[in-house]
Amino acid sequence: SDALTYNTQGTFVINWTFDDGNGNVIVVPQNVIVDDITDPTTPTLADVTGECSATATAPTTTDNCSGTLTGTTSDALTYNTQGTFVINWTFDDGNGNVIVVPQNVIV
């Protein structure tokens, strides 16, 4: 009577009942372990360029369990001075798998 499909992280137990029809019954537990160990896909981020200023927008990537992920950062998104800057985007699938991907900003 236990569920046979699980789609959340964790360890679950299915109790299988075996009955030979002659009054002999045993119950055998089986562990089901759902553990996302795969990092999100590393996106290839194009350089953000501008002549007087440049502003980046949050990129996305995909994850095998969480679907589409949007990058987050504590770095500035807009730059107004000449030079090359780097934004470090973090992609977190919510299951303990995190990648950080750099993106160049060239003004």
Report pLDDT digits (tens) over 54-93: 999 999 999 999 999 999 999 999 999 999 999 999 999 9
**pLDDT averaged over the chain?**
97
Neighbours of 106 (CB within 10 A): 14
Give the model confidence (pLDDT) of 9-21 as tens digits.
Answer: 999 999 999 999 9
What does the pLDDT average to over 25-44? 97
Sequence-distant (≥ 6) Cβ neighbours of residue 36 within 8 angstroms? 9, 64, 65, 93, 95, 96, 97
